Amino acid sequence: MRLLSDEVYRLENVSYAYHAGQAVLDGISLRVPRKEALALLGANGSGKSTLLKIMAALLWPTSGSVYAFGEELTEKRLREAAFAHVFRRRIGFVFQNTDAQLFCPTVWDEVAYGPLQLGMPKDAVRRTVEEVLAFFGLEALRNRPPYRLSGGEKKKVALAAVMAVNPEVLLLDEPTANLDPRSQYWLVTFLQKLHAAGKTIVIATHDLDIVPALARRVLVLGEDHRLLADGSPVEILGNRELLLRANLVHEHYHAHVHADGHEHLHFHHHDHHD
């Protein structure tokens, strides 16, 4: 079966279990069109990170089918060098914990790693790394070991390393986790620009505040590891009962969602203490 021409992903009845009888995902079916800005929203433990890793071919479903760019995504296909090269070139994955992603001795080496793995000529790699370091404002950190950087700097380096191969699709797991407000603002603005430039963005998060800024569509995963809802940020964030059922808010939660010209969304929540 082939995907529609405007689809990046199609998942059909995907389930995953780390241990027998212990489902992390249960019967997930979804489609991701090209140039989508999608948030996978769910409480901790709902399976959203696992779903993102399946889309990145870092995990394989226990059952069900995953299609990417018109091809079924399987372990066997990914062992084919040509297919793997194209897939890894088109998909960028940013881990929640950047320490799991950054392993090279310097920032320069980290940014060069992807292009080198894809077989780019050395001169082209050097040019690309310099351009990416300049774009991300990382020139002063080029010789620093990543483990010596702040959380915000590590996130920038992780993004720079992914963007060095200019992927079509960016998958991000809890992208704003452990970032200070300035770094969060920079990251959200950067991702908005990427989407405006035509990239497909998929984020897994339980941070409701960033959803209106980053997503045009929201999928909600329940604590039963099934898909609870699929809708716009206004529809999802304005549905208090749904958010309660998904354990994304507490019972004293109130949201005010405003859509201005369908472009700008504002989301506020107020905590009431008895």
Residue-range domain boundaries for the chain: 35-57+90-267
Phi-psi region of 112 (alpha: psi -120 to 50; beta: other; left: phi over 0): alpha
Q: Span 35-55, mean pLDDT?
A: 94
Cα 93 from Cα 177, distance rounded (Å): 15
Say which residues have a Cβ less than 8 Å from residue 257's Cβ, sequence separation at least 6: 212, 233, 234, 237, 238, 265, 266, 267
> pLDDT band for position 177 (50/70/90)?
confident
Amino acid, single-letter form, for residue 203: I
Quick one: what percent of the chain has pLDDT higher than 90?
Answer: 70
pLDDT above 90 for 8: yes
Cα 91 from Cα 57, distance rounded (Å): 10
Q: Span 132-158, mean pLDDT?
A: 92
pLDDT above 90 for 98: no
Assigned architecture for domain 35-57+90-267: 3-Layer(aba) Sandwich (3.40)
pLDDT above 70 for 29: yes
> pLDDT band for position 18 (50/70/90)?
confident
Element (H, E) at 201: strand 200-205
